Structure 1
Amino acid sequence: MKLRDALLTFSVDRPKWVFALLLLLCLLAGLQIPSIKVDTDPENMLPHDQVDRVFHDQVKERFALYDMIVVGMVNTKTDAGIYNPRSLEALHRLSEQIGRMKGVIAKDLMALDRVDNISQEGPGTIRFEWMMRDAPQTLAQAAQIRQAVERLPLLDNTLVSGDGHAAGLYVPIESKSLSYQLSQQIEEAISQLGVEDQFHIAGLPVSEDTFGVEMFVQMAISAPLAGLMIFILMWVFFRSLLLITAPMLVAMASVIITMGLLIGQGYTVHIMSSMIPIFLMPIAVVDSVHILSEFADRYRPGEDARPAVMEVLGHLFTPMLFTSLTSSVGFASLAFTPIPPVQIFGLHVAFGIMLAFLLTVTLVPAYIISLSPKRMAQLKDHNIQEDDNSRLGRLMSLMGRLSMLKARLLVVAFSMLTALSIWGVSQIQINDNPVRWFKSDHRLRVADRVLNEHFSGTYNAYLVFDRNAQQDPVLALNSDLLAELDADPRSTQLKPELQQMMDDAASADFDQYASALAGLLDEAGFSRPADEEELWLALFRRVEAAQIDAKYFLNPEVLAYLDALASDLERHAQVGKVNSLPVLIKTVYRELTGGGDEQFRLPDSPRGVAQTILSYQSSHRPDDLWHFVTPDYRSTLLWLQLKSGDNQVMTDVIEHVDAYIDANPLPQGLSVNWAGLTYINVVWQEQMVNGMLKSLMSAFVMVLVMMIVLFRSFSIGLLAMLPLSVTILFIYGLIGFVGKDYDMPIAVLSALTLGLSVDFAIHYLERARAIYRQCGNWPQAIAEIYKGPSRAISRNAIVIAIGFTPLLLAPLVPYITVGFFLASIMAVSALVTLLLLPAVITLVGNKEKLFSTLNVEHESV
């Protein structure tokens, strides 16, 4: 084994070179860390050219939409709620302060003091005045504001809750990356208001950005705590601070070099890649624990450490290589997901795993050899007989006897457990929501609950409708005009005149072209001979009709369809409200035509719709119109306010719309699509889950092939996959059984399960083969296996499972999830390896034949 011998010889002969090279690598990697760039935006889970993301960005640009922070003010102590002078004065002051904050789009800030009250001034006229130009001085004035708000559908239950106990400020921001910073400034402004009302800050942008900030704070706490816990547990097992320093150095160096490589390549540290230390540390430690366990069993103080080191590394090198390769394959398979941050995460963890292997087989032996005889003499004597009488030793012996004596019962029990796990897997629900990444008592979770109880919803989704042009509108208009002229006997004489007008009005923009051409035709109706007047006016009316037809969403029939869809959506349990162009038009039209409830309807003609919209243009916020329709009136949207940002809720709403359109087909030439952060979260989650499933399946097959190659046996290869298979099914069955949603951290844990579970199987089977060949008797082999190798496996499982319990105390749910399931993976895979594997082998008739092909020590390595 040339590679093994070369590495081991180099490590034990030149330990100082190993230390120097490692120090140099760590220094080079550490120099990259100050240039770290952080990206906590889940939207970047999707490639920039992904279709849904491109459309989402286009919609934001076309409709001048911005990501928003929602600030809620709640007063439940008075019957009037927030409609009292003190609360409204505080709301007014807060709105003014927020409007002056850098990064806030002040002109689009929505608050009671920044919107219009729309009322009738007289027959056929409308009045726009500030809803709350100044804060009211009396309860009567506050009551008037309430009456005005409740009359305006666009404001009611959006700016003020239906019960009057909560008011909202919708704060549009220049960039999501400013969310956390602005939320801190807003909280500072709130603290100076001096009112007893409760204030809450919510919205996906602030939740995502806050998670990013707290994530790195938590990483700085959890990773060192996990490292400290692992260090303490290894000291409990090995009772030598000198000895256990080596694996901790391997873990630290692996993390530093891997993160330095990632940052040095210019990659941003995303939510996924920030968890590289948490995922890499247990894998970096497990091989070292195997080495320390074997070394502690063989070395006696006062002896030369070199023979023990060479012997231990000699038979552990290849199993550790293959366990590292399988773990690396598990994470590298994430490169096949369509999610860029997951690809980067997977590839760098795969690199870190192989780096940890290289450091384990070089740094650990170099470190042990470099210890002086005096220090080596301080090592506790970990002989097999002593360990046999320890609690762990007695437990291992018991498990060994149990696996052999109760083999059939164990196989039946694990089979039943697997069947139950398969049922649990079928119950898994794919769901995620960045707000739920915080614990239930976190201020953002509390804000989410309170504001969504009072308001229509703090989660936004946009249903976008576009008019599909059948042909170039200029060419279509010209064709219609020429056809109209051809029907007149004078067409031959007048066609050159019309063609000249078309040339004079020529423009790439249809609206400009039609307006210019209409002016020329109108002028011709007056300047040309009287007998031609009717013809030119007919052509003029044709242009006018084309202009109206081009402005598709001035059509009352189309608007009625959108209005009916919006009404249907508002009956959905999770849709709090739908704001739309039809609602705006109906509100203004009501005031133009008398102000009664019966006038709250759409005008009868496109001209009436256009006049209604023109009236709205005299308001203080005319640009608000363009949030609902584009200036060419060929695209519009429905703004859905959802009470939950869960993927399941958004998916259910999408399916509801699809069902409605199936039953009520879209008007001809109309297309529909979705946008908004809530929808984008569904897209990347689905792509991640599907990508993870494909990568898991492909990695599973690759690991199976590697096991068959490693053990040179198809049956042993399948046997090696047993702990992995049972563990994956159990973990994900448990997820489905307890009702835990399948979210981002759960999805990524599949790669960790793949690597850690097969690790134990490889070491167990390799040592079982060697021991069985020595004694030729399975009961005797079982007794020997559960003295040495089983302790290394159990120590590994205990060290990692308990070592990461500090994650359970984290305030962020993904860290708690990783901590719990990491411990579960280690415990289950160790139990399956130590109980089920020997039970299955016990039931195999010809063990000589089984183990005759089991030879891990390939000379090619």
Structure 2
Amino acid sequence: MSLRDRLVSFSMDKPKQVFYLVLALVVLAGLQIPSIQVDTDPENMLPHDQVDRAYHDEVKARFALHDMIVVGVVNETNANGVYNSQTLTDLHSLSSEIQKMDGVVRQDLMALDTVDNISQEGPGSIRFEWMMKMAPQTDAQVTRIQEAVARLPLLQNTLVAEDGKAAAIYIPIESKSESYRLSQEIQTVIDTLDSQNQYYMAGLPVAEDTFGVEMFIQMAISAPLAGLMIFILMWVFFRSFLLITAPMIVAMATVIITMGLLIGQGYTVHIMSSMIPIFLMPIAVVDSVHILSEFADRYRPGENPRKALAEVLSHLFTPMLYTSVTSAVGFASLAFTPIPPVQIFGLHVAVGILLAFILTIIFVPAYIVSLSEKRLAALKDHNIEEDDNSALGRLLVKAGQFSLARAKGLVIGFIALVMVSAYGVSQIQINDNPIRWFKEDHRLRVADTVMNAHFSGTYEAYLVLEKQDLSEERASLKQALTEAAVGDSAVATALSDILAQAENEQFQTYTDNLINVFDEASYNRPEQEALWLKLMAVTEDAQQSAKYFLTPEALEYLDSLQAHLNASELIGKSNGLPTLLKTVYRELNGGDAEQYTLPGNASAAAQTILSYQSSHRPNDLWHMVTPDYRSSVLWLQLKSGDNQDMSQVIELVDRYVAANPLPQGVEANWAGLTYINVVWQDQMVNGMLSSLLSAFAMVLLMMVFLFRSVKIGLLSMLPLTVTILFIYGLIGLIGKDYDMPIAVLSALTLGLSVDFAIHFLERTRAIYRETGKWQLTIEEVYKGPARAISRNAVVVAVGFTPLLFAPLVPYITVGFFLATIMAVSAVVTVLLLPAVMDSIRNKNALFGMKKEKQNV
């Protein structure tokens, strides 16, 4: 007895055991679901050890940078914008309350009440005072704040908009996972403020975390709604609530067990894995619909249902097995992408598909045989699709006739469609932005538009310049020390030993240790004191010279680069060490505009920084440069978080560096959330392309193996090829961005398109081998398999229309293209395949008949 026969016999002989087994699996998996953890951090699209992500994390630690929520206060009604006592009082109150919240990095929060006004106190001296220590009570106090902000480039268009209509609070947070909670607490404070101001919140962290919360809610709504719609549509076709309950139980059990398996293994639910129920639902239903459709056609009242079921499964088991395996292969191929959440998604959907096949084979027959004869007779009485006079039956008969009568025209038409689609594919734009995961009227989307219209930008990228190779400086110091000690052999010998011992230390540590050793030696060896002090001075000079980003060469390059960036429309503003130095240096030298220049030498730069260190926020310096002055970062504010725009910024810098080479030994690298989004998007696209190609090749080989025919194997790939080209051609033609949900749809297209083709071709070959007549074969095919395919297409395509009304764009995208995939796959299968087969003269050879019966 074959595996198929054993499974079918077991399900029909012991239906109660099957029910208990399925129930036990569902309960066991369901117990895992309450421990669900949601993760929508796009950084986790990359492994922790991925080069760009590891560098991004290192940069954040190196410069003590934190992800930020940006709160905007807008006043369009007052002639002076936010520069009025009431608005500034509200801003002060809001900022004060935010600083009390857990999870906020208080010392780095930027608002008018937490930053310094920098002004000249006297010749060569500077004064730092709080910009807005207390809320202003008079117009004069408001004016003083306005004038002070206008003098400070670091604050212009960052804390206050150029037109004065908006002010911002930049809130660094300890963890992105706290951003939604903090946004809710901030909103609670805002709701207590009684003013005419408009308040907005923006920033990638709050967008990503909010999406996670809403995604969790949507996951609990969309999948059940889609299931309800599928249930209703199947009732329209089969008119038996009891019978159609079977595929719904299979679908729900598949979803629960698969999600329970994922959560039970400790995986977080990412945006990708949140869509597992949506992807599994149609796949889990299609096989059941094939069985129900054929059973409804074959079963006769009074007949033993076991006989009809055995006959149905003898026809459907092999194509169902291969459709399940090919679909699983399509999704499992996602494991070859370098994106962990996509890998987890693909593998678990693959497992879910195979689970759905097993549940369908054992549960649906067990369920049907457990129904009374009266219930089964009612199915036959009410099956409105039973005869060919139904709407769907008549449509399919005409489709079959049309396919044969217009075979050449159809083939030419589909070739034209493929050519247009290929052009559309060439027009695809790869782009993503987490803020676009929300509808245009969502509060975060509105806030993004308003705040980026007023300010320099709420999106961040970091351009890091560093000179870490100090081998040249180390060699020069060693030579200078050796030359200085030439006159004293004892010192020279001691120096040689000291240098050898410190050879492997980092330069800063190396020089610090040398200075300590030389200082101690000067004290312990008074007769050589002068020489040891000389060596210490040489080392101190080398140590100072190694502070590269205090040198004119480094600062001028940074300043020129900033000027180039600020002149581009792609960048709202750049902030960096040159901006800080020029501001402080201006105030140290009279405060006039012409004094807004860089210090002339490293010593002057160091003195300028020393003056800044007496401010209320001295640690802000280390957000721009490291304490050893070997690395400096430019904070770029961008008005758009689109990957395309970030890529253009990268190209802008690349062109500048090509025309103005970096100083010798200096490297430039990128970090920041907006940049990381570009990295994982590029990796996803390349990974998806390679996985799709490999899966396509594997499926083709499986089709050739299944049908034992290269020709039929190639035919089975036609619906898949045309559907994929059409879907992605449509995306290119309508200008839809190629984003994360779109990329994953290729795997679903592969699975569902091949499903239809396998059933259609397998049944066509079987019927032709029985009849030997092509015309009769087509007529029979359009009465049975084509009807099941059409039912499946309608059930799934229409069943997922609730997704079109979801508040999250990825769900809308999946719903629309899922319906389109089903419709196109079905149309290509039932129209193009017969047309192509009709053009093949030797049908006997095509279908593997050794002896020709008749070919009409």
Which TM bucket (shorter chain)? Answer: over 0.9
Which residue is equivalent to 2:142?
Answer: 142
Asked if structure 2 preserves the Cα contact closer than 8 Å seen for 1:69 and 1:179, the reply is: yes
For 1:735, give the aligned amino acid: I
Residue matched to 2:547 = 551
1:458 aligns with 2:455: no
Deviation at 1:536, TM superposition (A): 6.9
Q: Which one-letter code corresponds to 1:92 in the other structure?
A: H
Paired residue secondary structure (1:607): helix
Decide whether aligned partners of structure 1 residues 359 and 125 sit closer, same or farther in structure 2, where only a CA change above 3 A counts. same
Residue in 1 that maps onto 2:356: 356
The SS at the match of 1:377 is helix
Shift of 1:380: 3.6
Matched, 1:767 2:763: yes
Q: Report the CA distance between 1:33 and its aligned residue.
A: 1.2
Aligned residue in 2 for 1:302: 302
CA distance in 1, matches of 2:148, 2:263: 55
1:169 partner SS: strand
Deviations 1:6-28 (A, max 9, x none): 11111111111111111111111
- Does structure 2 conserve the Cα–Cα contact (< 8 Å) formed by 1:240 and 1:380? no
8 Å Cα contact 2:38-2:216 kept in structure 1: no
Q: CA deviation at 1:78?
A: 1.6
Secondary structure of the residue aligned to 1:740 is coil
Alpha-carbon distance in structure 2 between the residues aligned to 1:513 and 1:778: 88
Counterpart CA distance in 2 for 1:692 and 1:538 is 63
Deviation at 1:195, TM superposition (A): 1.1
- 2:571 aligned partner, one-letter code: V
Please give the TM-score of this superposition, normalised by the length of structure 1.
0.96
Cα distance between partner residues in 1 of 2:490 and 2:847 = 102
- Is the CA contact 2:384–2:390 (under 8 Å) kept in the aligned structure 1? no
1:565-604 equivalent positions in 2, closer than 5 A: 565-604=561-600
Q: Is the 8 A contact 1:711 1:853 kept in 2?
A: no
Contact 1:712–1:853 (8 Å) recurs in 2: no
- 2:41 pairs with 1:41: yes
**Maintained 8 Å contact 1:713/1:853:** no
Tell me the equivalent position of 1:129.
Answer: 129
Instruction: From the superposition, tell whether residues 385 and 258 of structure 1 become closer, same or farther in structure 2 (CA, over 3 Å).
Output: closer
2:529 and 2:257 map into 1 onto residues whose CA distance is 86
How far residue 548 of structure 1 moved from its aligned partner, in angstroms, is: 1.7
Provide closer, same or farther for how the CA distance between residues 397 and 661 of structure 1 changes in structure 2, counting only shifts above 3 A.
Answer: same
CA distance in 2, matches of 1:750, 1:89: 54
1:384–1:788 Cα contact (<8 Å) kept: no
Aligned counterpart, 1:736 = 732
Q: Deviations over 1:6-55 (max 9, x none)?
A: 11111111111111111111111111112222222111111111111111
Equivalent-residue separation in structure 2 for 1:699 and 1:434 (angstroms):
29
Deviation of the 1:775 alpha carbon:
2.3
Deviates more, 1:491-500 or 1:249-258: 491-500
Whole-Å separation in 2 of the counterparts to 1:690 and 1:169? 39
Q: What's 1:859 paired with? A: none
2:804 is the counterpart of 1:801 = no
Partner residue, 1:752 = 748
State the distance in 2 between where 1:503 and 1:304 align: 94
Q: How far apart, CA to CA, are the structure 2 residues paired with 1:526 and 1:348?
A: 71
SS of the aligned residue for 1:135 comes to: coil
SS of structure 1 residue aligned to 2:378:
coil
Q: Are residues 378 and 111 of structure 1, via their aligned partners in 2, closer, same or farther at CA, if it must alter by over 3 Å?
A: same
Q: What do the CA deviations read for 1:540-566 (whole angstroms, capped 9, x no partner)?
A: 553332122211111111111011011
1:642 and 2:652 correspond: no
Deviates more, 1:38-47 or 1:384-393: 384-393
The 5-angstrom pairing of residues 319-468 of structure 1 reads 319-381=319-381, 386-468=386-468
Do 2:470 and 2:507's aligned partners in 1 also have CA atoms closer than 8 Å? no
2: CA distance, partners of 1:266 / 1:210: 22
Counterpart contact for 2:94–2:190, Cα < 8 Å = yes
| CA distance, structure 1, for counterparts of residue 500 and residue 781 of structure 2 | 94
**Aligned-residue offset at 1:769:** 1.0
Residue number in structure 2 paired with 1:161: 161
Aligned pair partner of 1:492 in 489, 494, 497? 489
Aligned AA for 1:296?
Answer: A
**Cα distance per residue 1:411-455 (max 9 Å; x no partner):** 011100000000000000110000100011100000000000000
Q: How far, CA to CA, are the matches of 2:509 and 2:466 in structure 1?
A: 21
Separation of aligned partners in 1, 2:341 and 2:522: 65
Measure, in 2, the Cα distance between the counterparts of 1:308 and 1:76.
Answer: 74
- Which residue of the other structure, out of 620, 636, 647, is the alignment partner of 2:616? 620
In structure 1, C-alpha distance between the alignment counterparts of 2:515 and 2:359, rounded to whole Å: 80
Checking the alignment, whether the CA contact within 8 Å between 1:296 and 1:382 is kept in structure 2 is no
| Maintained 8 Å contact 2:411/2:836 | yes
Give the drift of 1:525: 9.7
- Give the structure 2 partner of residue 658 of structure 1: 654
Instruction: Please tell me whether the aligned partners of residues 72 and 199 of structure 1 are also in contact (alpha carbons under 8 angstroms).
Output: yes
Deviation at 1:306, TM superposition (A): 1.3
Query: How far does residue 149 in structure 1 lie from its aligned partner after superposition?
Result: 0.6
Confirm or deny that 1:278 pairs with 2:266: no
Alignment size in residue pairs: 851
Alignment match, 2:708: 712
Give the structure 1 partner of residue 30 of structure 2.
30
Letter of the 2:439 counterpart: K
Shift of residue 264 of structure 1? 1.2
Other-structure match for 1:858: none
What is the CA-CA distance between 1:165 and the residue it aligns to? 0.5
Give how far 1:284 is off.
0.1
Q: What does residue 266 of structure 1 align with?
A: 266
Does residue 790 (structure 1) correspond to residue 790 (structure 2)? The answer is no
8 Å CA contact retained: 2:641, 2:674: yes
Unaligned 5+ residue runs, structure 1? 856-861
Aligned counterparts of 2:429 and 2:511: Cα–Cα separation in 1: 54
Deviations 1:678-707 (A, max 9, x none): 011111111111111110000000000000
SS at 2:485 equivalent: helix
What residue in structure 2 maps to residue 241 of structure 1? 241
Which digits, 9 at most, give the CA deviation of each residue in 1:739-785, with x for residues without a partner?
A: 00000000000000000001110000111112222222212221221
Paired residues of 2:844 and 2:850 also in contact (CA < 8 A) = no
Structure 2's unaligned 5+ residue stretches are 852-856
Counterpart of 1:628, as a letter, is: M
Q: Distance in 2 between matches of 1:523 and 1:264?
A: 62
CA change 1:45–1:503 in 2 (3 A) is closer
Aligned-pair distance for 1:474? 5.8
Percent identity between the aligned chains?
68
In structure 2, the CA distance between the partners of 1:295 and 1:557, relative to structure 1 (3 Å rule), is: same
Q: Do the aligned partners of 1:300 and 1:381 also contact (CA within 8 Å) in 2? A: no
Task: Look up the SS of the partner of 1:457 in the other structure.
Answer: coil
